[in-house]
Structure 1
């Protein structure tokens, strides 16, 4: 069992002062020197199966190293779990499943790209690999990385090796450790806070990078491709151990051989910039500068996370909360203190409740702060005041502030491909080859090309125009511009239903309905996922669709346009064919009852679901009468009516539908 942090001292009030002093000295010595490697017994229950797999992996080496040499089409379940730490998921294309035949196994590979940075050499390598080994596409993720899909097991090593040798990495892009650290993608050179956000996203990512030699041993046969010494500040920050955050005597000084209980997500942003969805992160840092633009420290937010499980009420989406302020000199120590608290006390028995948000929820923020302060060694200061956060996507042409330009290029659903008259993949390759431009992937699945000389603007626009790509954000359908979707079917193993392939049709139908209702200029944030894990962050959307069964979606309403408020589940199962029937009365209510220029999400939150349901029920009744559908009116007792109404609200269905189903079931038994 791992001993607690040094701050948890025994009560010595009744002991002799000198004896107590002696005990304190012993404690201060032994707590730091003891090797702490196994997860603590925070529960009497048995740790999850995956904890054993991680513990047996020899710091992420096995069974990946052995199975990679075997002439097979896929990895074992144990190897699959360890592969995630190396940045890869094993998938199969469900469109190609044939009963009685082996699955169409393939690997998805994800880059580790702090702040979304992709140098031109790496982008061109990824583009080439997508043709050589992948499915001819690249996908920008909602955490500012790229994904390659369709890689066969036999080509995985060559693919990873090529990425590493061309200034990239996949280490820690997946798995139970710190994931890709996010930062605003905008390259504003005249705003120091943006420079600091990039700088500390990169440094924190490096401090928390796994130190196991397994990555280079397996993918480069032990060769470390990246030359040059590690930043001394990063190295010191990783090993500095004032209060037990470092596990001594192990290959992984921060993680130990069991790593984290679950994935851990961090972002660094600037005041007011919510391009990175700050409230969805386990830990977020907000740059605080002085009057001269100098870095002073960071406001801290903690406890966000969106993953949940249908019909498991103990799992839920949660928004991060303000946690305090830390001076720049102490930022690494505080980040490590929060990591160590989750590492040592996060749930290692039930993976559904293993994220930091559940530890904070179960303990309460004050107990959590107290434990973090034990590791940190001092009290955490109160937060500095901040302006309201606002969503930004940075599309179109923008000034960097140093005389150069950057261009935000929209990517439909994050998928870079050539399709019909829209040849985005070819256009990007040509522009990057011609002008040697670096990239920042945005958290909304678009990308920014930057360091553009003004005299090259016309030539770049000509390339995009020639390949059918719109770069003017004003010409992009607004519902499309502010939407996101996860890949889902056919490759994601967790997908329940469609997302990336379904959302274009959903958006077209929603736009047609809005136009029909006289809301032609209206737009709002729409996000869709094929399962409840929430990779496209639907729980922060004004209108969110979450896959709940094949062809069915749970619908969430009430997020804000700036993604600063959680939405709430309105209906559990909506069949995609019923989209217009479901949304029409809600949109009519919105049109008739909104205040000033109130957004759709703000409207849903203000009026509340009870008012929406009441309007929908009455609206449907009026429509039935107007259409003269031949329906009949029946009368029920008041107590039955009240029970029917309560059931309808609970089940998120209309009273008519419930009564109709009940009568049909009753008549079948007669």
Structure 2
């Protein structure tokens, strides 16, 4: 799916560097003065550059926006806390690790919940400053960390959750771990600050960050390993994607997709969501070299002047895909072969029980919004902990905010299922529409949120379910996603209906994504209120039911009938 537009522009963007470049350059390789800030009890937050630097350590400073105005009236600073995102390549977590994070969430976070995310990991929300160091040390106790899950680095590496083809998945999962480790920052700042490791002075001339460089990457960078035909990690939302190619059930190499990304800025037409381009096939022994070559090319050529245009997708569009690809080949010491055939046929999770080729069973649980908490009549958090106490396999977090209980022996199925049902984790009444809907966190914790998302989604889905029932298609669904801002965390820009927050109770509606996740939707209506959204969805579903071709999906229908134009080349078509 190579972009037919081949613009050749300057390899380096000249101009005054963005202030983040100064910040990284002066950070002493990510240390800053974070350690000093931790000792300051006058404020619950981090000051100056440390507010940004803690992101590379896996944390975002937030506050409870629901009570912000009231605290201002009381002349109090916002109730600062941090959200931590763990580093979990491939999303696999042991039961011992789960029980460890469950206990920490219960005892030391303001919300008591564990949040499964679209980055195939978990987040803690509402950790106050006095508990931050304990949080990192607790993770370390269980063999976990949060290094490089945010900031201008390569973030948590995703991998298809496929529990069925277990041998192939194991190979792909191992590569996701290798890629993650290879691209991590080499600075020891994380261990020194959070784990009390003693600093060892470097020798003169030593290169501290051979891959990322002293000022790290121009912008965040996301990587995946995907096993067709499942596109359950949405490759086109990511900078770098390794598509697994198998022969006789064994992994032989990868097709490489580069330059995907979904974030944009309202009102700025120089920003847009973009799908990734196919560079070709590479053998397994070149995997790490190619990963490094893509990252270092983006490191050297990415826009460090304007952060809104700093992602890999804009570098490709500026310098030209062929130019970027040739540089990667040069740095990695290979020539890409022609891509091997593959097809994405779906991207959701397979709920309920499935049996793997190793005769183990796997149970995928639907977790609405990924929020694991004890609710009235549905003590989800307690239920998963009880399962973890008896389960002999592991858990797998999916990139769709759900949880797989993996590796269950035949004789243990009944026990696991009973625990899941008794705690509201397994509900046969969840509709296809609810299973294919997703939202980011947004209010009250995300500082970037313009509108509700996680708290808005359940009611919105109930209303959409009613519309589908009205037209006698309640057994079908539309891929529906909501984000509180245009940064793309809920991957609305790969949905059949994507709602992007514009302001309180207001959203831009985008239409035209497809089931495989290979098409960017286009804006249909701007600044819609919640009732307007339902009115539009009702009218569109009515047309779909009346005019659809055999088994035609909603996203394909709105493109075929001209309700919305297809986005073939984002730079040209998305804002047209």
Corresponding residue of 2:387 = 431
Matched, 1:319 2:282: no
Instruction: State the alpha-carbon separation in 1 of the partners of residues 546 and 365 from structure 2.
Output: 36
Corresponding residue of 1:529 = 483
CA gap 1:550/1:77 in 2 versus in 1, 3 angstroms? farther
Instruction: State the alpha-carbon separation in 2 of the partners of residues 591 and 131 from structure 1.
Output: 47
Corresponding residue of 2:31 = 61
Instruction: State the alpha-carbon separation in 1 of the partners of residues 351 and 556 from structure 2.
Output: 24
- 1:374 Cα shift? 2.6
The question of whether the paired residues in 1 share the 8 Å contact of 2:85 and 2:121 is answered with: yes
SS of residue matched to 2:563: helix
Matches within 5 A, 1:25-174: 42-71=12-41, 72-97=43-68, 98=70, 99=72, 100-134=75-109, 135-174=111-150
SS of residue matched to 1:95: coil
Matched, 1:371 2:342: no
TM-score (norm 2): 0.92
Matched, 1:205 2:171: no
User: 245, 254, 257: which one pairs with 1:301?
Assistant: 257
Q: Which structure dedicates a bigger proportion of its chain to helix?
A: 1
CA gap 1:567/1:611 in 2 versus in 1, 3 angstroms? closer
SS of residue matched to 2:54: helix
Aligned alpha-carbon RMSD (Å): 2.1
Instruction: State the alpha-carbon separation in 2 of the partners of residues 176 and 273 from structure 1.
Output: 28
CA gap 1:363/1:62 in 2 versus in 1, 3 angstroms? same
Instruction: State the alpha-carbon separation in 2 of the partners of residues 579 and 532 from structure 1.
Output: 17
- 1:116 Cα shift? 0.3
- 1:386 Cα shift? 1.6
Corresponding residue of 1:470 = 426
Deviations 1:304-342 (A, max 9, x none): 000100010000000012111111111211111111100
The question of whether the paired residues in 1 share the 8 Å contact of 2:115 and 2:123 is answered with: yes
- 1:380 Cα shift? 2.3
User: 214, 218, 236: which one pairs with 1:279?
Assistant: 236
CA gap 1:376/1:41 in 2 versus in 1, 3 angstroms? closer
- 1:610 Cα shift? 6.2
The question of whether the paired residues in 2 share the 8 Å contact of 1:140 and 1:445 is answered with: yes
The question of whether the paired residues in 1 share the 8 Å contact of 2:392 and 2:408 is answered with: no
- 1:580 Cα shift? 2.6
Matched, 1:250 2:207: yes
Matched, 1:547 2:547: no
Matched, 1:577 2:531: yes
Instruction: State the alpha-carbon separation in 2 of the partners of residues 48 and 438 from structure 1.
Output: 43
Moved more, 105-114 or 390-399: 390-399
CA gap 1:191/1:102 in 2 versus in 1, 3 angstroms? closer
- 1:458 Cα shift? 1.0
- 1:77 Cα shift? 3.5
- 1:191 Cα shift? 4.9
Instruction: State the alpha-carbon separation in 2 of the partners of residues 459 and 425 from structure 1.
Output: 17
User: 515, 537, 542: which one pairs with 1:561?
Assistant: 515
Instruction: State the alpha-carbon separation in 1 of the partners of residues 465 and 11 from structure 2.
Output: 53
CA gap 1:418/1:452 in 2 versus in 1, 3 angstroms? same
Deviations 1:316-372 (A, max 9, x none): 000012111111111211111111100001001111111000001112211111222
**Which one scores higher on RCO, CA 8 angstroms, separation ≥ 6?**
2
CA gap 1:111/1:492 in 2 versus in 1, 3 angstroms? same
The question of whether the paired residues in 2 share the 8 Å contact of 1:396 and 1:407 is answered with: yes
Instruction: State the alpha-carbon separation in 2 of the partners of residues 124 and 406 from structure 1.
Output: 19
User: 341, 348, 362: which one pairs with 1:385?
Assistant: 341
- 1:445 Cα shift? 0.3
Corresponding residue of 1:338 = 294
Corresponding residue of 1:350 = 306
- 1:209 Cα shift? 1.3
CA gap 1:516/1:461 in 2 versus in 1, 3 angstroms? same
- 1:471 Cα shift? 5.0
CA gap 1:132/1:44 in 2 versus in 1, 3 angstroms? same
- 1:388 Cα shift? 3.6
The question of whether the paired residues in 2 share the 8 Å contact of 1:558 and 1:568 is answered with: yes
- 1:403 Cα shift? 2.3
Instruction: State the alpha-carbon separation in 2 of the partners of residues 610 and 355 from structure 1.
Output: 27
Instruction: State the alpha-carbon separation in 2 of the partners of residues 275 and 154 from structure 1.
Output: 38
**Unaligned residue ranges in structure 2 (runs of 5+):** 1-9, 200-204, 567-573
The question of whether the paired residues in 1 share the 8 Å contact of 2:166 and 2:356 is answered with: no
Instruction: State the alpha-carbon separation in 1 of the partners of residues 408 and 471 from structure 2.
Output: 43
Structure 1 runs (4+) deviating above 4 angstroms are: none
Corresponding residue of 1:185 = 161
Moved more, 445-454 or 387-396: 387-396
**Unaligned residue ranges in structure 1 (runs of 5+):** 1-39, 225-247, 613-649, 653-670
Instruction: State the alpha-carbon separation in 2 of the partners of residues 43 and 182 from structure 1.
Output: 30
